[in-house]
Amino acid sequence: MRVEFRVLGAVEVLIDGAPVDVGHARQRLVLAALLVDANRTVPAGALLDRAWGDRLPQHARTALAGYLSRLRAALRPAPGVAIQRQRGGYLLSVDPMAVDLHRFRHLVQEGHLDGALELWRGPAFDALSTPWCEAVRVALERERHAAELDRNDLALAAGEHAALLTTLLGTADRHPLDERVAAQVMLALYRCGRQAEALRRYADLRAALADELGADPSPALRDLHQAMLSSEPGLAAVGVRRAVGLPVPRQLPAAPRAFTGRSEELGRMTAALDAGVLVLAVSGTAGAGKSALAVHWAHAVAERFPDGLLFVNLRGYHPGGGAVPPVAAVRGFLDAFAVPAERIPAGLDAQVGLYRSLLAGRRVLVVLDNCRDAGQVRPLLPGTPGCAAVVTSRDALAGLVAVDGAEPLPLALLSRREAGELLAGRLGAERVAAETGAVAEIVRRCARLPLALSIVAGRAVARPGAGLAALAADLRAARQQLDGFASSDPAIDVRAVLSWSYRALGAAAARLFRLLGVHPGPDVTIAAAASLAAATLDETRELIGELVTANLVTEHRAGRFQLHDLLRAYAAELAAEPAAAGRMLEHYLHSAFHADQLLYPYREKILLEPAGAGVVPETADDALAWFVAEHEVLLAVVLSAGDDRATWQLAWTLSTYLNLQGQWRAQVAVQTAALAAAGRLGDRPGEAHACRALGRAHDMLGADEPAQRHLERARELFEALGDRAGLATTYVNLARLAARLGDRDAELSHDRRSLALFEEVGDRAGQARALNNLGVALARRGELAGALDACDRAVRLNREIGNRHGEAAAWDSIGMVHGRRGEHDRAADCCQRGLELYRDTGDRPAQAETLLKLGDARRDAGLQELARDAWQEALHLLDELGHDNGEARARLAGCR
């Protein structure tokens, strides 16, 4: 399904060539205002100004929301297109090449001027008019005119003056004082043998400039006139000028040094390419030399791909995950082709479409190294003949072979002969021939694995005076020392070989390498590594650099480092510094505690012991971004920590983030671990906090019995501890559970109890929360006046303390009360205000709940189409969260 957005002429949308109704003129103007800045946030105020100018109606924001909802509905069938609410504005996500304006600019930049100019169907935004619209139309007309002049220069340079002359004369009539147009007309006339007319044109322009501007022709135009008077030979010369094209990326790593063997596989790869195969799938065990083979072959056939050589390491088998997602790989390829950032669409499908469009008609080789499975690599495959892809993986990639027609190329171990040739290529034939027995033992000890052989060869090169027999003896001894270090494949044992890379490190770097084996992964920052090593950030940065240089650690994202899975296992066996694990736990505990306080500063606090010596906590300014980057590490740390106190406290710090993201199952996992840890310690506060968080998570998952059990246990513990603040929050959770179970009396009782407790301890954020909950409980009982009063008080109190999340909840509740009073327009406005605040705070589950209520209010107000938009957005959000979407689907089904 192909979508086209047109603004270079009348504003139109086509899907598969069929026009889409995008509404009346004002609504089309809103669409145009978003398309001009496609994939960039347009502030709401700017959007209002673009659509109305200084004639802003009284309810412009409401009207704008309606236009956007109807546009979302109209564009719903369009693939990769979405209008999204962003902080402070709106963003239209779309492949920029689907918008004629952005395609025009792209084609102009690439030098395809004829194609660019063919996109124009008339004045931009034809028939639409606001001050913004007029200003942009004038600016775009200048761009169009400049492209026409550039096109004319190319045509004149190519000797097309006769065919171009009529067009040039028409342009000159529209732009009588444009000296560049005049120069083009004069040159075309001159080359057509009409020298007198060319000179007359100059005289007329000179007179017009003097009369209207009081100016003389430019020096360049005067020089052209003089050259015509002198009949200079150069004026008649023409030549073809090649249009500027895409850059030619050359991303291949250096060809492997002294590559040997694999002649059969290389021949099969070249034969497949000759036969028109587009995808080669190279598979084999870890260390079999898949990457080296692919890169060596790519260099050998590079001349057959003059338009570029792309390469990406997809990191499909890194420990604990961390594979490069397709969207990141595609973005890297787009960057390689110098696509400006503002022209790269937001969605994966749109980016893949742009990437494949760039490859169409070109000859490019794409090397996709270390892929996890067919799903990871499929979006990265070229879509047209002339291009080819080489994929390497430990997986057999059966799906790629069956579905995508890939040519399978399983890679076995080297033969003994090839293994010997590999060593000879690195060490020299004479050195290898002098110790054939030692070479045979090295080959056997390395299991004919290229990775192991290469590491041993590197060690031998570094010790030119050592005999190969001594290296073989070292391998033999190392194997005895590391008997427990087994590979997943019993035929392969590279641990002894890895020890040589480790032993070549300086003492401090070797220690850090060992300590990284303590870390559960999937990756580590400089600060976390510094805490492991009890070192400064600068010291750690230098040591990490040494490990990267030694190829023992890779920087898979800026500032985030990983160990290869075999190396992680090796480092873990070497690690023997128990205090490092404690420092790591303290690092993540104090870092997460700081981020949690930024994320939601209104929750009751727990007391942490001060960070110990050598611990380097992180103090991120953007707490949500920090949690997004670290949450996989934090989950792994919680579930693998050997310190019970750190386990429950770290689970506490994760609770707010997991709630905001709606990760209820992850919440159950970490809080279950926390409860067990606190229980082993006999730590009653830890048990209370874990029980309460666990009860809420079970409640959100609809698990009634465990939710009730854990929340009641939390109430007992907080009461026994005399923790009035903790007890107040527990009553909030008990009220929510009672509401879901339909027990209105219990709900109201719990809400009143929580309000009294929050007032008792002076917790204003808690009071606001309890007031809002009390208002909802009263509304459910039909006491609407009291409900509205309680919720209004909650809004005011939340505003006083700056709690935007609490204010969002209160507006959501006020909307519900107005809906029950039959004031559906006011209900929708209140829900919209709550929704925008929830979006600002990042609470995705709450956004979904409020969208359902917003849809209900719009339906009851008779705005069925807008109601459907809200319910559809709620459905998408619930699907992304993996939550129950039954309510959203039922509402959507009812409005068909």
Tell me: pLDDT of 621 over 90: no
For residues 322-349, give the mean pLDDT. Answer: 79
Instruction: Write down all domains in the chain, each with its CATH number in brackets.
Output: 3-139 (1.10.10.10), 181-236 (no CATH), 263-407 (3.40.50.300), 416-502 (no CATH), 505-576 (1.10.10.10)
Least trusted range by pLDDT, from 21-25, 409-413, 690-694, 748-752: 409-413
Strand ranges for 419-559 from DSSP E: 524-525, 554-557
In terms of pLDDT, which residue wins out, 622 or 736?
736
Q: What is the pLDDT of residue 565?
A: 56
- CB 763: neighbour CB atoms within 10 A? 20
For residues 133-161, give the mean pLDDT. Answer: 83
Q: What is the pLDDT of residue 744?
A: 92
For residues 412-420, give the mean pLDDT. Answer: 83
pLDDT in tens, 709-733: 999 999 999 999 999 999 999 999 9
The continuous run of DSSP H or E covering 4 comes out as strand 3-6
Identify whether the C-beta of residue 41 lies closer than 8 Å to the C-beta of residue 57: no
Confidence of residue 321 (pLDDT cuts 50, 70, 90): very low
In terms of pLDDT, which residue wins out, 247 or 418?
418
pLDDT in tens, 233-265: 667 644 323 223 467 888 888 787 668 788 889
Least trusted range by pLDDT, from 445-459, 631-645, 783-797: 445-459
Q: What is the pLDDT of residue 395?
A: 76
Tell me: pLDDT of 400 over 50: yes
Q: What is the pLDDT of residue 670?
A: 93
Q: What is the pLDDT of residue 551?
A: 56
For residues 491-519, give the mean pLDDT. Answer: 74
Nearest to 593 by CA among 663, 648, 664, 532: 648
Q: What is the pLDDT of residue 486?
A: 33
Q: What is the pLDDT of residue 245?
A: 47
Least trusted range by pLDDT, from 135-144, 219-228, 394-403, 597-606: 394-403
Identify whether the C-beta of residue 592 lies closer than 8 Å to the C-beta of residue 619: no
Q: What is the pLDDT of residue 485?
A: 27
The continuous run of DSSP H or E covering 455 comes out as helix 450-462
For residues 126-135, give the mean pLDDT. Answer: 89
pTM here is 0.52
pLDDT in tens, 174-211: 888 888 889 899 988 988 888 889 999 999 999 988 88
Strand ranges for 362-401 from DSSP E: 365-371, 388-393
Residues in the chain: 896
Tell me: pLDDT of 793 over 60: yes
Nearest to 51 by CA among 74, 28, 24: 28
Tell me: pLDDT of 781 over 80: yes
CA distances, 240 to each of 139, 153, 236, 413, 734 (Å) = 30, 11, 14, 54, 80
In terms of pLDDT, which residue wins out, 480 or 274?
274
Identify whether the C-beta of residue 602 lies closer than 8 Å to the C-beta of residue 806: yes
Q: What is the pLDDT of residue 380?
A: 93
pLDDT in tens, 529-553: 999 999 999 999 999 988 876 657 7
Tell me: pLDDT of 845 over 50: yes
In terms of pLDDT, which residue wins out, 770 or 459?
770
Show the tokens assigned to 113: 């001027």
Q: Which residues contact 481 (CB under 8 A, 6 or more apart)?
A: none
Bridge-based pairing of strands 42-43 and 18-19 is unpaired
What is residue 3's three-state secondary structure? strand
Please give the order of strands across the beta sheet that includes 12-15: 3-6, 12-15, 18-19
For residues 596-624, give the mean pLDDT. Answer: 87
Q: What is the pLDDT of residue 667?
A: 92
Nearest to 80 by CA among 15, 175, 157: 15
718 strand-pairing partners: none
For residues 429-454, give the mean pLDDT. Answer: 80
**What backbone phi and psi angles, to 5 degrees, belong to 701?**
-85, 0
Q: DSSP code of 302?
A: G
Q: What is the pLDDT of residue 317?
A: 62
pLDDT in tens, 877-891: 888 777 778 888 888
